[in-house]
């Protein structure tokens, strides 16, 4: 089974069409979950796969399933990723993996028709709802419900900043249903969102484990006051307290990173109230996360973060309230899956290496319930969640080849057996 | 001329009625400039003064003039303040002074009718447009146009965060016109927004000067990236740079404040883009101001602020862009006005002292074109720009008595002569 030029051109043409939905001036996309642009992309994808004779279904939280039946009644191997994006995000993050899954399935159907072979499994391509978590929190929402980590009712009642619920948003774009399906194994391909593959001159990354990540929502409480008239001693400035924590988080990353272990800290959301030019802030809502390759280092950095919070409460005369937290322990991916992926890459002659993922992916959820393989293709300069995100055509096509070969192995029963 | 119980009750009743417009759950008001709530308050005030036989006019930037004619054709003494408020602001800031002006004029008309006397001036009560500057920047917009510091065209084209212009907003609440008037002197009463009067057991503050204030708009430029995947060394985090400046500004206030001179620094507005949970910020817009009683200390603190900006650009790998700046030099109020106000307070037996104002007021603009007197009444605990802002009925009434006596002196020609 080899790839034809027509198959390659078909993938690239579809990728270009897909990138026109929610396109931004800076060559990126803005397709936040269940917005009109997300709905348009989902409907375009539905049209694409239905045109190839596949069936599309939705579950209760808007996960989109494309059913590719080789053997009536056989169980399913899933290939998934997500079509939603960050605001001003790149056109590769997530969308590449969903389209790659569809093309892998098309190629396999052609190959089985031409070359014969009796698969043990069918394929389902899953476009997970709201992987990005920007409009509705938390991220990886659809796969969290699918894997039993979040109740569907809670997700459907979650509101965006305008008070719109997930249920209302999904209904407004018409991509919700009551489908359900068990899957036997899971396969995902994604851009790396780091630069290790590029730095090492590799085409393929085999993800061996996730980083541990602790994410915290804080509310800093101060007291609204006049910026000009209120003496420093009388202030309880929520913005000062929140800013001090942003600075402290960076200091902790620097302090705890060693030659052996990296610590990454971030603050991605930071909202000031009432945010008026001459008013001392009464409240800041912010998210802080701490990640590390090593659980012991992560625990130490995390403890330091909370010690610094206490210091800042004193120094800035503010109060920190801890809201929701999300703790992901560092976890290994399926070892047999890793070996199988390496064998595929060897066979195709693709230079590959193992990597760890710092970013969360739907596979992070799926690997806890079924054998899961996660693949990376290079991402230029490691740029991600940015309109300038870029993966070359050659790297995208190599990824589709590998995904196809691995999907063939999986439906033939090389990783799991019915 | 003495104040009757009926006059006192009338003022307090009108103050309660006025406080119902834009009222918030926390006993404050939200009447940002040219919003529906601001429009309702302006129309209520218009109805109130027209009910007393006064005429109302608007100029081209929505300043509201209430004309109180004692002598046809005579020039005008102005009494002013503002009915707009901060979001979740207090019910006293600005509104007290406008209503006090109206009641002073009513009392004087009664007194002249009963006791005789031939005034040399008429009175105009001015409700300045957009003193607060939260919806539309900068603050003190109406008085800046009136005093020739800002062109009307620029103000009318200024947009809020939704892209609505001042002209559109003023037209939508119907409080714009083409009236114009020269005034001979200006009188304003306001709550202190500090606690020096309360601490010293005084009823009245005579403002002798403003503080110097330097206000800067900064845009911090970073590079949008994935919070999880992007290594610390590859980040250009606009939020980190902006946070470091907020912390530095507080350190500067602490460093430059001595027993002789106070330095106050603030950041009142801080907006993060794109502000998504898993995205390193590409941009933060923030306002920073530095104020001091002493011009030399202010200059030193200001220089240190800009030195720290350069340090932060290096440390956080970000770029600071300096936008608009507003520099107010410390300035004295009219000395003869100060003496006249002291004489009035003496006569009424009100305990008074001189104060400096850290906050900007419309009188800060007016004192540059006409003799100006600025009076303060106490503000409990110095709380201001906050729903819990509070001034007692007794303190409000003492202020109206003083304002009335001073207005009488001014229209009789004790400060300026036609």
Q: How far is CA B263 from CA A238, A324, B326, in A?
A: 20, 38, 17
The answer, yes or no, to whether residue B394 has pLDDT greater than 70, is yes
Instruction: Kindly give the pairing relationship between strand B319-328 and strand A263-273.
Output: unpaired
Where does residue A213 fall: left (phi above 0), alpha (psi -120 to 50 degrees), or beta otherwise?
A: beta
The whole-number pLDDT of residue B288 equals 96
Mean pLDDT of chain A: 95
Q: Is A201 exposed, middle or buried (0-12, 13-18, 19+ CB in 10 A)?
A: exposed
The whole-number pLDDT of residue B1 equals 61
Question: What average pLDDT does range A137-159 have in this prediction?
Answer: 96
Look at residue B133 and give its three-state secondary structure. coil
DSSP A334: P
Please state the residue numbers annotated as binding site of A for Zn(2+): 82, 93, 132, 190, 385
Map tokens 């020039």 to a residue: B75
- How close A115 comes to chain B (CA, Å)? 41
All structural domains of chain B:
5-211+331-411 (3.40.630.10), 212-328 (3.30.70.360)
Rounded CA gap, A32 and A131, in Å?
10
**Tokens at B312, concatenated:** 């932060």
Q: Is the dihedral of CA A152, A154, A160, A163 positive or negative?
A: positive
Instruction: Kindly give the pairing relationship between strand B225-226 and strand A263-273.
Output: unpaired
**Tokens at B89, concatenated:** 């602001």
Beta-strand (E) ranges in A71-133? 76-81, 122-127
**Cα radius of gyration (chain A):** 23
Chain A residues touching residue B274 (CB < 8 angstroms): 86-88
Chain A residues touching residue B193 (CB < 8 angstroms): 226, 228-230
The whole-number pLDDT of residue A391 equals 97
Map tokens 């009915």 to a residue: B83
Q: Which residue of B has its CA nearest to A213?
A: B228
Asked if A242 lies within 8 A of B244 by C-beta distance, the reply is no
* A376-403 pLDDT, tens digit each: 999 999 888 899 999 999 999 999 999 9
Output b/e per residue, B213-246; b: 16+ Cβ within 10 A.
bbbbbbbbbbbbbbbbbbbeebbbbbbbbbbbbb
The answer, yes or no, to whether residue A128 has pLDDT greater than 90, is yes
The answer, yes or no, to whether residue A96 has pLDDT greater than 80, is yes
Asked if B270 lies within 8 A of A250 by C-beta distance, the reply is no
Asked if B86 lies within 8 A of A274 by C-beta distance, the reply is yes
Least confident of A265-269, A313-317, B64-68: A265-269
Asked if B289 lies within 8 A of A257 by C-beta distance, the reply is no
CB distance B103 to B407 below 8 Å: no
Look at residue A27 and give its three-state secondary structure. coil
Q: Which residue of A has its CA nearest to B355?
A: A229
The whole-number pLDDT of residue A379 equals 94
Chain B residues touching residue A228 (CB < 8 angstroms): 193, 211, 213, 264, 266, 289, 291, 358-360
**Tokens at A139, concatenated:** 């991220």
Nearest to B213 among A132, A194, A228 (CB): A228
Nearest to A277 among B137, B243, B382 (CB): B137
Q: Which residue from B306, B310, B340 is spatially nearest to B410, judged by alpha carbons?
A: B340
Asked if A270 lies within 8 A of B275 by C-beta distance, the reply is yes
Chain B residues touching residue A193 (CB < 8 angstroms): 226, 228-230
Q: How far is CA A185 from CA A189, A205, A356, A372, A379, in A?
A: 14, 19, 20, 6, 26
Asked if B226 lies within 8 A of A132 by C-beta distance, the reply is no
Rounded CA gap, A66 and A124, in Å?
5
β-bridge mates for residue B319, sequence order: B221
Q: Which residue of B has its CA nearest to A87?
A: B274
Rounded CA gap, A85 and A102, in Å?
19
The whole-number pLDDT of residue B226 equals 87
Q: Which residue from A328, A348, A344, A326 is spatially nearest to A336, judged by alpha carbons?
A: A344
Q: Which residue of A has its CA nearest to B232?
A: A264
The whole-number pLDDT of residue A308 equals 98
Find the angle CA(A358)-CA(A218)-CA(B224) to the nearest 5 degrees: 45
* B337-346 pLDDT, tens digit each: 999 999 999 9
Mean pLDDT of chain B: 95
Question: What average pLDDT does range A268-285 have in this prediction?
Answer: 93
β-bridge mates for residue A204, sequence order: A352
Rounded CA gap, B98 and B45, in Å?
9
Question: What average pLDDT does range A314-326 have in this prediction?
Answer: 94
Instruction: Name residues whose C-beta falls within 8 Å of residue B296's C-beta, 6 or more positions apart in sequence.
Output: none
Map tokens 């304003």 to a residue: B188
The answer, yes or no, to whether residue B328 has pLDDT greater than 90, is no
Helix axes of B238-256 and A238-256: crossing angle, nearest 10 degrees: 120
Asked if A228 lies within 8 A of B280 by C-beta distance, the reply is no
Chain B residues touching residue A359 (CB < 8 angstroms): 226, 228-229, 278
pLDDT grade for B80, boundaries at 50, 70 and 90: very high
Report DSSP letters for B319-360, one per residue: EEEEEEEEEE---BPPHHHHHHHHHHHHHHT--EEEEEE-S-
Report DSSP letters for A259-314, one per residue: SS--EEEEEEEEEEES--TTEE-SEEEEEEEEEESSHHHHHHHHHHHHHHHHHHHH
The answer, yes or no, to whether residue A328 has pLDDT greater than 90, is no
The whole-number pLDDT of residue B72 equals 94
The whole-number pLDDT of residue A317 equals 97
CB distance A206 to A354 below 8 Å: yes
DSSP A387: T
DSSP B365: H
Asked if B228 lies within 8 A of A272 by C-beta distance, the reply is no
- How close A73 comes to chain B (CA, Å)? 40
Asked if B275 lies within 8 A of A272 by C-beta distance, the reply is no
The whole-number pLDDT of residue B330 equals 83
The whole-number pLDDT of residue A151 equals 96
Chain B residues touching residue A247 (CB < 8 angstroms): 240, 243-244, 247
- How close B47 comes to chain A (CA, Å)? 30
The whole-number pLDDT of residue A1 equals 62
Q: How far is CA B181 from CA A71, A175, B57, B135, B187, in A?
A: 88, 62, 10, 27, 16
Report DSSP letters for B149-200, one per residue: SS-HHHHHH-B-TTS-BHHHHHHHHT--------EEEEEEEEE-SSSHHHHH
Nearest to B226 among A239, A287, A384 (CB): A384
Where does residue B162 fall: left (phi above 0), alpha (psi -120 to 50 degrees), or beta otherwise?
A: alpha
DSSP B366: H
């Amino acid at each position: 089974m080899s790839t034809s030029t027509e198959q390659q051109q078909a993938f690239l043409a579809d990728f270009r069409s897909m990138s026109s939905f929610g396109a931004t001036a800076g060559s990126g996309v803005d397709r936040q979950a269940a917005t009109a642009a997300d709905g348009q992309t989902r409907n375009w994808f539905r049209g694409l796969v239905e045109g190839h004779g596949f069936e599309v279904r939705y579950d209760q939280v808007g996960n989109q399933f494309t059913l590719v039946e080789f053997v009536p009644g056989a169980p399913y191997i899933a290939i998934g990723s997500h079509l939603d994006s960050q605001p001003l995000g790149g056109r590769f993050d997530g969308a590449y993996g969903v389209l790659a899954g569809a093309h892998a399935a098309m190629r396999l159907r052609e190959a089985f028709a031409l070359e014969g072979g009796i698969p043990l499994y069918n394929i389902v391509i899953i476009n997970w709802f709201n992987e990005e978590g920007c409009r509705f929190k938390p991220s990886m929402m659809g796969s969290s419900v699918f894997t039993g980590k979040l109740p569907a009712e809670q997700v459907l009642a979650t509101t965006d900043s305008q008070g719109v619920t997930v249920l209302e948003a999904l209904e407004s774009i018409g991509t919700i249903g009551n489908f359900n399906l068990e899957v036997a194994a899971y396969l995902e391909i994604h851009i790396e969102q780091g630069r290790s593959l590029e730095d090492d001159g590799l085409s393929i990354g085999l993800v061996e484990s996730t980083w541990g990540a602790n994410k915290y929502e804080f509310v800093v409480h101060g007291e609204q006051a006049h910026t000009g008239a209120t003496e420093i001693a009388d202030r309880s400035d929520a913005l000062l307290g929140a800013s001090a924590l942003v600075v402290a988080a960076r200091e902790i990353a620097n302090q705890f990173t060693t030659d052996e272990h990296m610590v990454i800290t971030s603050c991605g959301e930071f909202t000031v109230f009432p945010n008026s030019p001459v008013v001392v802030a009464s409240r800041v809502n912010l998210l802080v996360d701490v990640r590390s390759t090593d659980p012991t280092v992560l625990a130490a950095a995390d403890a330091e973060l909370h010690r610094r919070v206490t210091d800042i409460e004193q120094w800035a005369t503010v109060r920190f309230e801890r809201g929701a937290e999300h703790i992901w322990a560092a976890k290994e991916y399926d070892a047999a899956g890793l070996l199988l992926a390496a064998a595929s890459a060897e066979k195709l002659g693709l230079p590959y290496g193992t990597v760890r993922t710092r970013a969360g992916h739907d596979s992070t959820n799926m690997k806890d319930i079924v054998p899961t393989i996660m693949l990376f293709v290079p991402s230029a300069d490691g740029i991600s969640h940015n309109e300038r995100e870029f993966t070359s055509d050659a790297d995208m096509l190599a990824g589709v080849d590998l995904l196809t070969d691995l999907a063939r192995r999986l439906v033939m029963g090389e990783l799991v057996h019915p």
